Structure 1
Amino acid sequence: MAGTAVTAPRGVRRAEPLRWALLAVAVVVLAVFLLAQRQSIDVSYGQSPAVSRQVEEGSAGELSDATVPSTEEMTALVDADPVVRLPGAVARWDERRVREAIGGEDTRILVAPTGLDEEERKRVREVENATVRVIGTQVSGGMFQATPDTLPGWRAQFATGDVTDQLVALITALRKVPRPADQDTLRWRDPSGTELDTVTADLRADGLHVAEGATLRQVPKDADTAFPDGAWYVALPAQPYGEPLPAYGPALHRLFPDQPLVVMYGSWVEYHGPGAADFAELAGTSFYAHFGDRLSRYDYPQQNVLGVYLGRVTDIRYAGLFDRPLPYRPLDPLRVALPALPWIFAACVAGFLVLSIRSLRRSGTRPGDPQRGGVRARLAGLTALAVEASLLTDARSNPALTRGIGKLEAARQALDEGLPDKHVRRLLDDATAELDDTARLTGIPEFRPDLYLQGRLS
């Protein structure tokens, strides 16, 4: 008698395609997410027209005609005098504050001019008996270099050559003693009527006033990108240390409150005019934090300094800091969906794993194992085996077959009455054992339940 074919339940048949579909979706989502990571993100407001390029030393007019003696000669000078100021040196400081910082130590200071090339700066750095070396307004000594980090500090350094705070900070660091607080000692004065009239006349004429001693030749050509509505420019040379500076910015702003004004004192640049409260500090801090070190040791013309400053203003303007409306950006479905892709991937993987575990549990025993398959499937398979075996039994094997058929009938009745599956399985286990004895007694191995059911319940 042929065996009864047993098929998987409908839910099992549906779960298998779903399992592989979830895996396919997870792979696609992962591929899309990884490929999207290659996209470059433009975080700027727009493409700033300011130009940024590498500048070789000496190509921007930053080297001066000043020079320094040999290292041996400078060493001898420092041996003879605790403070050596070489010709062309521009750095100045408050001697009282520096003496207090030195205390009783033997501190020797070598002051070199600005605008030296690399070879000349190297000779200065090789003067080993100099405790502190000042090149231009760059202050260094030992393993340290002292630089300002506030607008008042940069203003004193680049407008008047004042390096007092840097010297005090460096000397106290070398001595390992507490550092006193920085002091803003720069003083201001109102420009005289004659001074203000002269500047105003030039500004009304062409928007530019260049005082005697200033090195600015003309307004940079790309100034309009920094101030599209135009600005006025006042260029003054570096001011004498210790003397009050003429406050042209506030004075001109009172006369022309709606006019952007850029005022230069040496290498110090400041802005006055509309939006100054929000913009001037940001522009000054970002500019001098970035370029302050180069400005301190080189002798850049004001033309170059102003050009780079205006480039920084342009960068900030194009970063959207002037209350400009954000540009239109079309909807990008991928950009919107990207945050959800990891969650979709995780859900698909979780679904695949759950369905796989269920599948493994259903196939947890080896093929052909009598314990494998559902209750009804086992009952059908064992019943078919009993029918076929009944045709070949003899007197020795009939009792075992009879007991097995009885157990199968009891299992069928229990199943029809809705008794627990555990009880039905126990009856089927007993029937399996009896049918196995039947096959052993008849000498037909193919009728053993584990072999007979192989393939029927898989």
Structure 2
Amino acid sequence: MADRSRRRRVELLRWPLLGMAVLVLVVFLLAQRQSLDVSYGRSPTTANAVPEGSAGELSDASVPTVAEMTALVGAAPVVRLPGAVARWDEAAVRAAIGGDDVRILVAPPGLDKTERELVRGVENARIRVIGTEVTGGFYAATADRLTGWRAQFVAGDVTGPLLALVAALRELPSPDDRDGLRWREPTAPELAAVTADLRATGWHVADGATLTGVPKAADDAFPDAAGLYVALPRQPFGTPVPRYGPALAGAFPGRPVVVMYGSWVEYHGPRAADFAELAGASFYARFAERFSRYDYPQDNVLHAWLNQVTDIRYAGLFDRPLPYRPADPLRVALPVLPWIFAGCVVAFLGLSARSLLRLRGAGFGTAGGPGPSARLAALTALAVEMSLLTDRRSDPALTRGIGVLQAARSALAEDLPAGHVGRLLDDAEAELDACARTLGVPGYRPAGYLQGGLA
């Protein structure tokens, strides 16, 4: 009974080890399909496309019919429709046009696709400005650096794109880039009004600005120190613009300061020398086309800018602290899985070898023949070896043989008559023999396998 109990404990340990080895192998192989991820943290922002009209960018402005606009353009070289915001240095543009008949039609921002098509249908207008988007013929003139975008979105200044487009239409060299924006220091009363609001609430909205609150995205963009936000409307063309940023950064050291002029966003504060230019250039290179054509509320513009700042922070630039990312337990465990697999296989083989040695000691290969226990162990070992080779044709016979072996094992454990156990073992041997013949492996036929003493 003690020997039987020991064999049962070995069996209870051996097969779970084989099952664990198979499970570890499957997990390891499936994990190899994962793609390489080199980022320390994943930015929570999203960059899904926004359908036209779903972000408040369309205004209430409308345009006349194509015939009416054609008549207006025929009567004047420059036609400004109600709501138009684009401005330019008229003397410089007239000098660039020279004696050519170049007529300009200026439409308001925030038009939908149908209204923009009406404006583009005015054929006698060689240049069309929709919002601050400048097009003419087959050309579209856009700013490609911070100075051009800043003048365009702070004051609606499209002098640079207009000069470039006129030069293209006249087949002349493109003019040099220009920065037509002039700055001034804010007056003491102006600065006092802004700083008072910032100290009280953290944000200031001037008359004419459309910001209604600080977006939730600010928490991800500036997690270390709460930002301060100033929203101003689009500035009058041709007049110096008050530059609040440096003064506010000095008044609130260590705090991020964000100042909006219309659709233009400026950053001042910690690491402004390198961070502000990158944030501005990457943001307007991505969104300038939409901002020039549509009339986005400042809430939307600021939210998009804060998302851009968050993406930059998650990129790990400027030695800023990287966001914490919990360790992936699967990736940590992957290097260990092959060793666990190997250990389970070695343990399984060791326990199997122990069973084989016990079978030899039980009398396999002797003249008297094996006893029921030794025969059961030998046929079980044979079934295990055959299970590695079986296929769809041979699986049924092997399954039936294993089922009969389990019945024989139960009969032995319950001390049932030896004749009953022998008949069960004969049935199991017949099923395993049929499986071996189907596989076409003579060495696995039980008669030859048992005759060799499992050697």
Tell me which interval the TM-score lies in, with the shorter structure as reference length: 0.5 to 0.7
Q: Out of 294, 318, 322, which is 1:298 matched to?
A: 294
Q: Does 1:49 align with 2:44?
A: yes
Q: Does 1:313 align with 2:309?
A: yes
Structure 1 residue 103: Cα displacement: 1.4
Q: Out of 242, 249, 252, which is 1:253 matched to?
A: 249
> For residue 263 of structure 1, what is the aligned residue in structure 2?
259
The secondary structure found in structure 2 opposite 1:130 is coil
Query: 1:241-262: CA deviations, max 9, x gaps?
Result: 0011111001111222311100
> For residue 111 of structure 1, what is the aligned residue in structure 2?
106
Whole-Å separation in 2 of the counterparts to 1:43 and 1:147: 35
Whole-Å separation in 1 of the counterparts to 2:177 and 2:50: 33
Structure 1 residues 119 and 310 mapped into 2: Cα distance closer, same or farther (>3 Å)?
Answer: same
> For residue 282 of structure 1, what is the aligned residue in structure 2?
278
The residue correspondences of 1:57-456 to structure 2 (distance < 5 A) are: 57-228=52-223, 229-324=225-320
The secondary structure found in structure 1 opposite 2:319 is coil
Structure 1 residue 44: Cα displacement: 3.8
Whole-Å separation in 1 of the counterparts to 2:277 and 2:240: 22
The secondary structure found in structure 1 opposite 2:283 is helix
Whole-Å separation in 1 of the counterparts to 2:321 and 2:57: 39
Structure 1 residues 125 and 193 mapped into 2: Cα distance closer, same or farther (>3 Å)?
Answer: same
Whole-Å separation in 1 of the counterparts to 2:70 and 2:45: 45
Whole-Å separation in 1 of the counterparts to 2:333 and 2:181: 54
Whole-Å separation in 2 of the counterparts to 1:42 and 1:282: 24
Higher relative contact order (Cα pairs below 8 Å, separated by 6+ residues): 1
The one-letter amino acid of 1:215's match is T
TM-score (norm 2): 0.63
Of 50-59 and 291-300, deviating more is: 50-59
Whole-Å separation in 1 of the counterparts to 2:32 and 2:138: 42
Structure 1 residue 40: Cα displacement: 2.6
Q: Please report the RMSD computed on the Cα atoms of aligned residues, expressed in angstroms.
A: 2.0
Structure 1 residues 45 and 289 mapped into 2: Cα distance closer, same or farther (>3 Å)?
Answer: farther
Whole-Å separation in 2 of the counterparts to 1:52 and 1:176: 39
Aligned residues: 301
Whole-Å separation in 1 of the counterparts to 2:147 and 2:89: 16
The secondary structure found in structure 2 opposite 1:120 is helix
Structure 1 residue 333: Cα displacement: 8.6
- Structure 1 runs, 4 residues or longer, greater than 2 Å off: 35-45, 51-54, 324-334
The residue correspondences of 1:23-38 to structure 2 (distance < 5 A) are: none
TM-score (norm 1): 0.63
The secondary structure found in structure 2 opposite 1:88 is coil
Flag structure 1 segments of 5+ consecutive residues without an equivalent: 1-34, 335-458
Flag structure 2 segments of 5+ consecutive residues without an equivalent: 1-29, 336-455
Give the share of equivalent positions with the same residue, in percent: 68
Rg larger in structure = 1
Of 248-257 and 282-291, deviating more is: 248-257
Structure 1 residue 232: Cα displacement: 0.2
